[in-house]
A and B are shown apart, each in its own frame.
Chain A
Amino acid sequence: MTTTLEKTNGTAQPSTRTPQYRRPRYTVVENKDAYELRVEMPGVPRDHAEVNVEADQLVVTGRPPAPERPEGSRVLHRELSTVPYRLPLRLNVDIDAERAEARTENGILVVNLPIAEASKPRTIRVE
């Protein structure tokens, strides 16, 4: 929006009011060995979604492709957005990024984040 921001951005995009990203809805379920993160990104196929883990930051991004439109068709009504999704999350538990898995289920990106062995609660036997 501001000139400074555009400069630091470095991208040659003209100033528009369209935000660069939108935050998708999501839920996190904690299981014994892993967290399950479910991110709603309707219209985003598997190959347009990305999950990145770096240090204690997890970032999910998804780019909905422009819908195919038959030639000569015109828009009567528009509510769906094509602005990419971006969800940055701070991880407060060590996760085993190597074993993390992601899949898509009807427009929901499901990310399985195994809890690192070191972070698991453990019972200490009294000798």
Chain B
Amino acid sequence: MRLLKYEPMETDPFRSLESFFEPFRRSLREGWFEGMGSQSVPLDVEESDEAYEVRAELPGFTREEIQVELENAVLEIHAKKTEGGDGDQEKVVREQTRRLTVGEEVDADRVKARLNDGILSVTLPKSEHRKPRAITVS
């Protein structure tokens, strides 16, 4: 069983831009994003003007065993280690999952992930039009 909270459908056409960021922050505050049945994944999240940077601890997993997905503003990190080959013989020896809501300002096409010494780093660039920008007064 998983406990997932869903945002109700957009009803207020005047919802402020700020509220786009809110689901992301709230998911971090409430910590509801852990899957059950598999272990969680400890992580750090940082934010710059350009992007969000997620660093997750996944020791012992290879690149092939890690899946990173972004769907409906939810980032899911899923790692699974099996042994015993394919089919019926396959046995899951370790599985870890973590989800977090990242908000809609993320440019899904430019998300990048890399693995180094058991740390998965996911860069989630912000969409161009959501970045803060300085406007020159002419």
List A residues at the B interface (Cβ < 8 Å): 38, 40-45, 67, 69-80, 104-108
A109 to chain B, nearest CB (A): 10
* Contact A41–B59 (Cβ < 8 Å): yes
Q: Which residues of B contact A105 (CB under 8 A)?
A: 60
Please list 21 pairs of residues, one from A and one from B, whose beta carbons are closer than 8 Å in the complex, sorted by A's number: A42-B117, A42-B118, A42-B119, A43-B118, A43-B119, A70-B48, A71-B48, A72-B48, A72-B49, A74-B48, A76-B46, A76-B47, A77-B43, A79-B42, A80-B42, A105-B60, A106-B60, A107-B57, A107-B58, A107-B60, A108-B118
* Contact A74–B47 (Cβ < 8 Å): yes
Report the nearest A residue to B57, measured CB to CB.
A42
Using a Cβ cutoff of 8 Å, how many contacts connect chains A and B? Answer: 79
Report the nearest B residue to A44, measured CB to CB.
B117
Q: Which residues of A contact B48 (CB under 8 A)?
A: 70-74
List B residues at the A interface (Cβ < 8 Å): 25, 28, 42-50, 52-53, 55, 57-62, 115-119
Complex CA distance for A53 and B118, rounded to whole angstroms: 25
* Contact A75–B60 (Cβ < 8 Å): no
* Contact B117–A45 (Cβ < 8 Å): yes
Complex CA distance for A104 and B118, rounded to whole angstroms: 10
Report the nearest A residue to B65, measured CB to CB.
A106
Complex CA distance for A75 and B47, rounded to whole angstroms: 6
B7 to chain A, nearest CB (A): 19
Q: Which residues of A contact B117 (CB under 8 A)?
A: 42-45, 104, 106-107
Report the nearest B residue to A76, measured CB to CB.
B45
Report the nearest A residue to B100, measured CB to CB.
A77
B34 to chain A, nearest CB (A): 12
* Contact A107–B46 (Cβ < 8 Å): no
